[in-house]
Structure 1
Amino acid sequence: MQKLYLVRHGESEWNNLKRIQGQKDICLTLKGKKQAEKIANRLVFEEIDIIYSSDLKRASETANIIGEKLNLKVTPSEAFREIQFGSWEGLSIEELTEKNSKEHFIWINEPHNFKMDGAETLYEVQNRAMNKIDSILKSNPDKNILVVSHGATIKTIILGCVGMDIKYYNKMTIGNTSLSMIEFRDHNNVIKLLNDTCHLKEDKYE
């Protein structure tokens, strides 16, 4: 049974500052690196054959920490980048709500209807990410794949893999270095894990 593991990057400098990142290339914090070490220690117990990652630093740094632990090479891909947020990138949450209250309301309440000049829609994010996922799975039919990516991108992948409408995007959350997993069964695809962060709380993953 083929499996797709999905891990969000560790805490970044802008996560800590509560700034919108999008495709800005921000590094991990020290806490983020420690989170990456913990998820790496947990993934030792899984059967992962291949690692792909967003090419943005916060994801690739996380993936490389995991890859070193699992003795696997990491293949970076632009397809797994975070959503492009255009003029929102770099803004704090407070600045965003003050300057873009209408668009922010739509993003929070109806993200599938979000459309702004210079920004990607969720449909565009899902299209680029799922095209790459489909290609990887077809090229490696007997392999379990790990993808290290970003919150928005991971959510669109999960919905795409199980055939759920993108309108359910805001019904889930994806935390830093959380683990989600899809099983590809004979008759359907199943969400086996979603936003699991137990490794951040348990000493055995130190």
Structure 2
Amino acid sequence: MYQDHKRKFWWNGMKRDVAEFVSKCQVCKQVKAEHQRLGGLLQPLEIPEWKLEHISMDFVVGLPKSRQGQDGIWSPLYWDEVGEKAVVRPEIVQITIYKVTIVREKLKAAQDRQKSWEDLKRRPVEFNVGEKAYVKFSPVKGVVQFRKAGKLNPCYMGPFEILEKVDTLAYRLALPSNVS
């Protein structure tokens, strides 16, 4: 706006006045994208729990005697699916647990590395209940939203009141009934 107006008009403090007007203008807030870093730090997904973390081990005795004269076995049981069990030899369970531990450590290291890089390009954002916020949306190409086309087509809706904080970056808003 300043670049457009400075060709025809000029006064002392014009750049500051234009910036102040744009910061308070409702239409400008809906149309202009802020040139800031992305809001909200990266929230990595939880590493899934492995099904062999819940292992039960039993001694089964009273079996027919083996050639060595033993009538019992040590059997680790693990939960395969809900309500199903499978019997596995102890050495296979130990090898599998070791490999899964390594995979989980590598996943955690990769997530930490990705988060540290992404957070450099982001800024922490937190809203409080009762504040008002704009919601950014991406209109489908070729579809005219709000009967405006081109440069003044708004990419933000609002402001909407924040009713509650659901999660770290999730909020419940008071949306009007005509917004689906």
Which structure is higher in helix share?
1
Which structure is higher in strand share?
2
| Larger-gyration structure (1/2) | 2
Q: Tell whether the structures are fold-level matches, with TM greater than 0.5.
A: no
